[in-house]
Amino acid sequence: NAGVTQTPKFRILKIGQSMTLQCTQDMNHNYMYWYRQDPGMGLKLIYYSVGAGITDKGEVPNGYNVSRSTTEDFPLRLELAAPSQTSVYFCASSYVQATEAFFGQGTRLTVV
């Protein structure tokens, strides 16, 4: 099984550019999450979704957007990249909220 797949693995953006981080899971999980990880800060929840067509803000949603048109896909959109968005981004999924979350391998994003 592929599990949770994130693309790309690495990306360098210029200030003001936009991009979409892709996340796909093949486990038929209802819940999906986007996190950013900064040194010493742990993982901060950006957005999450409890099913197709339903999304909600997490702890640090500013500067990001998401959509969930299918159960499998949960893309994260950065519209106007800023240096503060330099981070490692993780996508995760779980069947329901109290079950194990499975993580992708991460996307390392640098904004210069």
Partner 1 sequence: AQSVTQLDSHVSVSEGTPVLLRCNYSSSYSPSLFWYVQHPNKGLQLLLKYTSAATLVKGINGFEAEFKKSETSFHLTKPSAHMSDAAEYFCASVSGGYNKLIFGAGTRLAVHP
Number of amino acids touching partner 1 (CB under 8 A)? 25
Secondary structure of residue 71 in the 3-state scheme:
coil
Residue 95, number of CB atoms within 10 A of its CB: 14
Smallest gap from Cβ 112 to partner 1, in A, equals 21
Compose the 51-90 pattern: x for residues touching partner 1 by CB under 8 A, - for all others: -----x-xx------------------------------x
Residue environment code for 29-50, b if the CB has 16+ CB neighbours within 10 A, otherwise e:
bbbbbbbbeeeeeebebbbbbe
- What residues from 12 to 51 belong to the interface with partner 1 (CB under 8 A)? 31, 33, 35, 40-45, 48, 50
Say which amino acid occupies 110. Answer: T
Smallest gap from Cβ 12 to partner 1, in A, equals 17
Calpha distance 68→32 (Å, rounded): 9
Smallest gap from Cβ 26 to partner 1, in A, equals 16
Q: Is 2 in the site for partner 1 (CB under 8 A)?
A: no
